[in-house]
């Protein structure tokens, strides 16, 4: 089988049955933003904005390089943003502006007098 045939037959998530390294029994306690990201996924599902299968497909659509290099919840949040763009619910410029605003809360707050949103 050629290398390109493999790419056609196996999308990035479709790894069942492939050979791989030994299992490393790793685990970590979720970062606060990771837990919020997980809760966001559930809430998006409750509201039928993004369901589980759309989420999985959204991760797969990131392509093999991003699937390989981003962490689990990094893949999720990027996939959510892309799906929301594709559905016309948010525009990329909305997210860019909001991210600049979020960053400014921290860069304008070096004295420690926090004006940041409560963070869980």
Partner 1 sequence: MESSHGHDHAHDHPHAELGQAGRPGYYDMLETAVRELLVERKLIGADEIRRQIEVLDSRTPALGAKIVARAWVDPAFRARLIADGRATCEADFGVTFYDDTSLIVLENTDKVHNLIVCTLCSCYPRPILGLPPDWYKAKPYRARAVIEPRAVLAEFGTVIPDDVEIRVHDSTAMVRYMVLPRRPAGTESYSEDQLAALVTRDTMIGVVPITLDGGRVAR
Shortest Cβ distance from residue 4 to partner 1 (Å)?
Answer: 21
64-94 burial string, b = 16+ CB within 10 Å, else e? eeebeebeebebbbebbeebbeeeeeeeeee
Q: How far is the CB of 3 from partner 1 (least distance, A)?
A: 18
Between 2 and 19, CB nearer to partner 1: 19
Q: How far apart are CA 106 and CA 103, in angstroms?
A: 5
Residue of the chain from 56, 64, 86, 108 that contacts partner 1 (CB under 8 A):
56
Of positions 2, 3, 47, 113, contacts partner 1 by CB under 8 A: 47
């Amino acid at each position: 089988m050629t290398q390109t045939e493999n790419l056609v037959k196996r999308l990035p998530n479709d790894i069942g049955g492939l050979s791989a390294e030994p299992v490393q029994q790793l685990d970590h306690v979720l970062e606060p933003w990771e837990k919020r990201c997980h809760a966001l996924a559930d809430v998006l599902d409750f509201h039928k904005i993004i369901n589980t299968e759309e989420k999985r497909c959204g991760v797969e659509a990131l392509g093999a390089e991003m699937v390989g290099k981003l962490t689990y919840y990094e893949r999720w949040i990027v996939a959510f943003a892309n799906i929301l763009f594709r559905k016309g619910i948010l525009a990329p410029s909305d997210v860019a502006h909001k991210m600049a605003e979020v960053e400014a809360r921290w860069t304008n707050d070096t004295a420690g007098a926090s004006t940041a949103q409560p963070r869980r």
